Amino acid sequence: MDVSQTSEHNAQDSLDVSMDTFSNMVQILNALGNDDSLAIFMYTANGIKSSKQAIFDLGLTQKRFYSRLKDLIDVGFIEKDSGTYRHTSLGTIFYKMGLSLMSILENKERITLLDQLKQTMSLSSSDLDTIKSMVSQGSSDISGVLDLVFFSSKKEKIEMLPTYDKLVEKLVTEMSGTKRTILLASRYVDNRVIDSLLKVANKGIEFKVIMAKHDLEDKMNKLQMILSPKLVMSMIEYFSSPDIDDRMRDGDLPFSFCIIDDTHCFFELPSLGESSFSIAFFLSDKDIGTRFSAYYDALWEMAEKKSMPKLFQQLSKFRQ
């Protein structure tokens, strides 16, 4: 029996793809499977009008350049259009995937650190310093907060929240017990959190929300697909409030965090993607809460005043 053929069939079966698709994948990987091909492929992003210039810039011989270029043309990544080599539609897609892959590889140390974090909170000082740098992103205000969190006895108070659902579950629980205030800065739009906020609002609890303005309208449009009619109507009523500017704003958020009653603190470790979750932490500490609140106030002053999202503007018309 041909072992390689058996392995290929096993892989194809487990991936639930056709043999043609599997073969195409192998061809693509082979075409990109050396430094010359990958360099040419990435270089073509801006188009190649002069092969001579490309050969010089890439430091290749004519033979190596044209041989690898042919491989990339054969797999459908590059085409010649009006005398210029360009990415095809398929090539453009793989080019964007390549940029993402390079970003991941450049952050390999960070990904390893995340894996270690999810296994244990027993990290070295250098690891904790890396975490601080990732979250603070140059902000001296938040850097000072994280010094207190990770480089003092307060570290023992930290509860790790390794999944997004764990974070939301803990956040909703803490919100339900709020006595005075909630300060929420979030990159996510979650119906469970929205429902909790509206419930505490009905109890007279003061709260402010800063939403990450990146793709906010798109997030709201997707959210409406899973909202109950009752929650939609509650949100319309909330956004119709004349004091909406005092409660909600849009801003640039480096990471999500929340402070409840000036003491209960949530904050996430930023991920590699725009909105994907990596890991979050929770701790109850008055000093940390005060520091996070000051950082929140600074972000609030820089954030844009909020108007009713277009989705709810449209729905409110049907209510009238």
Q: Which residue has the higher pLDDT, 211 or 257?
A: 257
46-60, 109-123, 185-199: least confidently modelled range: 109-123
**Topology of the domain covering 32-106:** Arc Repressor Mutant, subunit A (1.10.10)
Which parts of the chain fold into alpha helices (H)? 3-15, 19-31, 35-43, 51-58, 62-74, 89-106, 108-119, 125-136, 140-150, 164-176, 191-202, 216-223, 229-239, 286-302, 310-319
Dihedral (Cα; 58, 60, 62, 66), 10-degree rounding: -70
Per-residue pLDDT, 319: 46
Per-residue pLDDT, 9: 52
**How big is the chain by its Cα radius of gyration, in Å?**
26
Query: Domain spans of the chain?
Result: 32-106, 109-319
CA atoms within 13 A on the CB side of 64: 14
**Topology of the domain covering 109-319:** Endonuclease; Chain A (3.30.870)
- For residue 300, give the amino acid letter: W
What's the whole-number mean pLDDT along residues 48-73? 93
Taking the C-alpha atoms of residue 197 and residue 117, their distance in angstroms, rounded to an integer, is: 30
What's the whole-number mean pLDDT along residues 173-182? 94
- pLDDT of residue 104 exceeding 90, the answer is no
- pLDDT of residue 314 exceeding 60, the answer is no
pLDDT tens per residue, range 150-160: 555 555 677 88
- pLDDT of residue 139 exceeding 60, the answer is no
First-last CA distance in the chain: 73
Give the bridge partners for 305, in sequence order.
249
Strand-strand pairing, 206-212 and 181-186: parallel
Per-residue pLDDT, 95: 87
What's the whole-number mean pLDDT along residues 122-141? 54
Is there a shared CATH topology between the 32-106 domain and the 109-319 domain? no
- CB of 23 closer than 8 Å to CB of 17: no
- CB of 319 closer than 8 Å to CB of 236: yes
What's the whole-number mean pLDDT along residues 224-239? 62
What's the whole-number mean pLDDT along residues 223-251? 66
5-9, 21-25, 111-115: least confidently modelled range: 5-9
